[in-house]
Amino acid sequence: MKNVTGIHHITAIAGDPQENLDFYVGVLGLRMVKKSINQDVPDTYHLFFADGEGHPGTDLTFFPWPSMGPGSRGAGVWGEVAFTVPDGSLDFWESRLEEHGVQFSPRETRFGEAVLPFEDPHGMALALVETTVYEGQGFTPWLESGVPAEFQIQNLSSVRIVVRDPAPTAAFLANAYGFEESSREGEWRRFTVGEGAGGQRVDLRVDPEVTNGKWGVGSVHHVAFRVDDEPHELEVREQILTSGGHPTQIIDRFWFKSVYTREPSGALVEIATDGPGFAVDEDAAHLGETLVLPPWYEGQREAIENVLPTLTYAAVAERNAGGVA
């Protein structure tokens, strides 16, 4: 069996794109490594926030759909997204969130680790967890961030999901991707792959009475698991098929290649290759500074630019006092 190596990226639905940029760059200190479009809905931004180099596993991306109603949490929709931060950094993060008017919940201890839950401006459930990343994750601090390098978010640590019946989802996570249940704590079951470090975890809670969730502003659209390359992706795709899934063919997303399916409760899952990466079409020193279109959309650039709202770093620069401008 060929396991996935961890989380590749997570894509969510945002409201106003400027508010989205201001929060993830200006407050959380991530770098916008790609400003592009939704390849299926090209009049919509697709914004990518990651570490200083856009490593796989560090990347939280958004489709800003401000006219869409709010999402609801429940079965069939991924829940809270947790980021890995260095040990001992939650004091800094509490102060930073408070400084920027972001409300947060009291710290929790989950599976022996300190966790700080909060929400983004559009109601998306987030958390910061003090833990370690797995070997081979790759992380580069962003030197222009308003967050000092020693406190910066290091990767996407885990994602939560609530299901009515755990057996089908647990079997699918195991047989399609290689995740195994590693521990239980209260209502939560942790599934891990590889070392089980930050970036290799899915947390599942069983609630037979949970209602269906729905996509909307503030909800996760899909979770992507990481594979090395196309041959690795084809092996995992075959595992999805033999596990009862219905995967798409490989879709070229230009910065990586993707296959999509749904796990048994209905949540959308992707597998994505590590390469070629975000520097394939931009200088690594200037990622995210201009609108980048896949080659097949270049002929429509003028029409696309005319319908997309202008994004600026003005609020970010104000917050960072000498950061990105």
Identify the residue with better confidence: 295 or 219. Answer: 219
Q: Check residue 70 and give its pLDDT.
A: 98
Which H or E run contains 60? Answer: strand 59-64
152-174: pLDDT as tens digits: 999 999 999 999 999 999 999 99
> Which sign does the torsion angle of CA 64, 149, 81, 1 carry?
positive
Mean pLDDT of 184-193: 97
Closest CA to 3 of 222, 193, 249, 180: 193
Q: Does pLDDT of 324 surpass 60?
A: no
Mean pLDDT of 308-319: 81
Q: Is the peptide bond prior to 148 cis by the omega test (within 30 degrees of 0)?
A: no
208-242: pLDDT as tens digits: 999 999 999 999 999 999 999 999 999 999 999 99
Q: Which domains does the chain have, with CATH numbers?
A: 6-320 (3.10.180.10)
5-58: pLDDT as tens digits: 999 999 999 999 999 999 999 999 999 999 999 988 999 999 999 999 999 999
Q: Is 168 exposed, middle or buried (0-12, 13-18, 19+ CB in 10 A)?
A: middle
Gyration radius of the chain over CA positions: 19
For 188, the token pair is: 């939560």
Residue 281 DSSP class: S
100-150: pLDDT as tens digits: 999 999 999 999 999 999 999 999 999 999 999 999 999 999 999 999 999
Residue 129 bridge partners (DSSP): 84, 115
Question: What's the pLDDT band for 313 if we cut at 50, 70, 90?
Answer: confident
Q: Check residue 315 and give its pLDDT.
A: 66
Question: What's the pLDDT band for 259 if we cut at 50, 70, 90?
Answer: very high
66-94: pLDDT as tens digits: 999 999 999 999 999 999 999 999 999 99
User: What is the C-alpha separation between 165 and 179, in angstroms, rounded?
Assistant: 17
Q: Does pLDDT of 323 surpass 80?
A: no
